[in-house]
Amino acid sequence: MDNNNNIYGQYPGTPYPMPYAPPQPVAKPKEKPEYSKAELVLSAFVFIAAFFFVRFVIFHATGFITTGLFIAVITAAIIYMKKRECSFSGYNKLLTVVFYLFTAVFSITANNFIKTLDVVFLFCGIAYLVYSVGADNKGVERYLPFALTKAVFGHPFTGFTKQTDIAQDSLSDSKTATNIKYIVIGLLITIPLTLVVAGLLMSADDGVEKMLTGIVNRIFSEEIWNVFIQLALALPFSLYLFGMFYTNTHRKDIKELDPNVCKFKIYNMRFVSNLVVYTAVTPICILYVLFFISQANYFLSAFSGSLPEGFTYADYARRGFFELFTVALINLGVLCFMSLHSKKAGREKPFALKFYSIVISVFTIILIATAMSKMVMYINAYGLTVLRVYTSWFMVLLALVFVMVIIKQFRYDMKFAKHLCVIFTLMFGLLCFSRPEAIIAKYNIEMYRSGQLEELDTDAILHMSDDGLLVALEEDEVTADEVNEVKYRLYQRDSYGKYNISAMIVDSMTE
């Protein structure tokens, strides 16, 4: 048979057809993660920082150690990103200075609520700083919520396993892994023999028994187990922090924030006809008008400082304030819905939608002003409390937001996110650095001494943190014995909780 015309597709000289074998894809070798000595040092630092975060932020009261921890993390971020040849714009330098300043809050106040808020602020802020430097931002992004989502949740979890990959890769190329294996084998072999020898020595000598018993009790003490738990919790924190640093400095495999994509996502959220929005909002606006007319004497009494008939200061202020506070929050939600979900919004926002946004904002500002006037009346009659300060602070912040909403209707190109960040940071700084409980104690004591308060609530002061206790001690309104009786039980301080200025001064005054 002529081999050149082989209809079976066999090769010359072969008696049978050759089976068809499709070409097999060649498996690509797994790419090793890029790393340098800087990454190895960063990996070790990040794990230590994560452990300190768990131990001195989650498990213990914050103080000087927490300030030092956040300073160390920010400084490490700067050094590492400089090593990676990232440039710091003027905007990013300003962010760095702001976050450095807010690290001092843990040292100057003993207020745990304020310090908890500051932890969240700095945690998200540092994540955004690293993201912003990696993206070489020159200012606040227009689509800031999308940027914050990427900074806090996107990029860190994209590189969540990079630390373990680098650790495995570095160990596989050295004798360290082999040495660790030999050490573990040696320990496993010697443990049974060691236990037998220890038992014999304990039986032979009382001194050895006491010594070994003390060692065993220390090993199995509650504090040691707490350390193991803290180390276990530190691992995910470490992976998160390292992923955040690594991903933002190795950006070739990540999706950058695309303004066009953000614009498209927002556009897709617009699904409600503007006519439906106008129809829904109009009754609310009419209701506000009727409400102000029918309740004019009731609510405007707050501005004149007089009480309506049949009300006490407590009933009048408390009832009206929280009602108006709730309405203000509802109005903010309505405005957000109108801006995000109306079919015609944004640059093409029609006059009617602008008009309704302005009307709702003006009504809300009037409600907030009324509520604040009522609260001032209440404070003048009964003094300050922590709740009154916090809610008043939030109401002022809310009023500023509504003022910006009004301005935005006339100036579409106004950078709303930028101005909101500036206002929030300034307001939050005022809350943190003013040490509210110190102000509350000082104000109430002065009101009492001037005769405006019938009675000074020293029990409320004793329930405050050391910020309020310090003022009360300096003004001789509480005694050292009273402070010592309640402060450890109420504040639940351990040895680390004393590491702030207020607590140290209070301790020196109560010894």
pLDDT tens figures, 34-57: 677 888 889 999 999 999 999 888
Please report, for residues 229, 456, 479, the alpha-carbon distance to residue 470 in angstroms, rounded to integers and kept in the order given: 35, 16, 11
228-238 pLDDT per residue, tens: 888 899 999 99
The neighbouring-strand residues paired with 342 are 272
Q: Is the dihedral of CA 449, 452, 455, 461 positive or negative?
A: negative
Q: Judge contact between 246 and 162, C-beta under 8 A.
A: yes
Using alpha carbons, select from 507, 465, 402, 469 the residue that is nearest to residue 61.
Answer: 465
Quickly count: other Cβ atoms within 10 Å of residue 396's Cβ. Answer: 14
pLDDT confidence of 122, banded at 50, 70, 90?
very high
CA 283 to centroid of chain Cα atoms: 38
403-448 pLDDT per residue, tens: 999 999 998 888 899 999 999 999 999 999 999 999 999 999 999 9
Using alpha carbons, select from 377, 366, 382 the residue that is nearest to residue 302.
Answer: 377
Give the model's pLDDT for residue 242: 93
What is the spatial distance between Cα 490 and Cα 174, in angstroms, rounded to a whole number?
A: 53
Query: Does an H or E element contain 444, and which?
Result: helix 436-449
327-359 pLDDT per residue, tens: 888 899 999 999 888 888 877 788 999 999 999
- Tell me, what DSSP letter sits at residue 161? T
Give residue 323's identity as a one-letter amino acid code: E
Using alpha carbons, select from 109, 66, 67, 126 the residue that is nearest to residue 431.
Answer: 109
Phi and psi at residue 388, to the nearest 5°: -65, -40
Using alpha carbons, select from 329, 340, 332 the residue that is nearest to residue 405.
Answer: 332
65-113 pLDDT per residue, tens: 999 999 999 999 999 999 998 999 999 999 999 999 999 999 999 898 9
Residue spans per domain, the chain? 34-188+216-257, 269-434, 439-510
Range name among 17-26, 153-162, 228-237, 335-344 with the lowest pLDDT average:
17-26
What is the spatial distance between Cα 110 and Cα 468, in angstroms, rounded to a whole number?
A: 9
Please report, for residues 5, 66, 358, the alpha-carbon distance to residue 494 in angstroms, rounded to integers and kept in the order given: 93, 14, 52
What is the spatial distance between Cα 282 and Cα 29, in angstroms, rounded to a whole number?
A: 65
Give the model's pLDDT for residue 262: 86
Give the model's pLDDT for residue 200: 66
What is the spatial distance between Cα 462 and Cα 190, in angstroms, rounded to a whole number?
A: 56
Please report, for residues 120, 348, 438, the alpha-carbon distance to residue 435 in angstroms, rounded to integers and kept in the order given: 18, 45, 6
pLDDT confidence of 16, banded at 50, 70, 90?
very low
Using alpha carbons, select from 474, 468, 322 the residue that is nearest to residue 385.
Answer: 468
Give the model's pLDDT for residue 180: 58
Quickly count: other Cβ atoms within 10 Å of residue 35's Cβ. Answer: 19
Beta carbons within 8 Å of 110's beta carbon, 6+ residues apart: 465, 466, 467, 491, 497, 500, 502, 503
Give the model's pLDDT for residue 465: 87
Give residue 278's identity as a one-letter amino acid code: Y
Q: Judge contact between 147 and 257, C-beta under 8 A.
A: yes
Residues present in the chain in total: 511
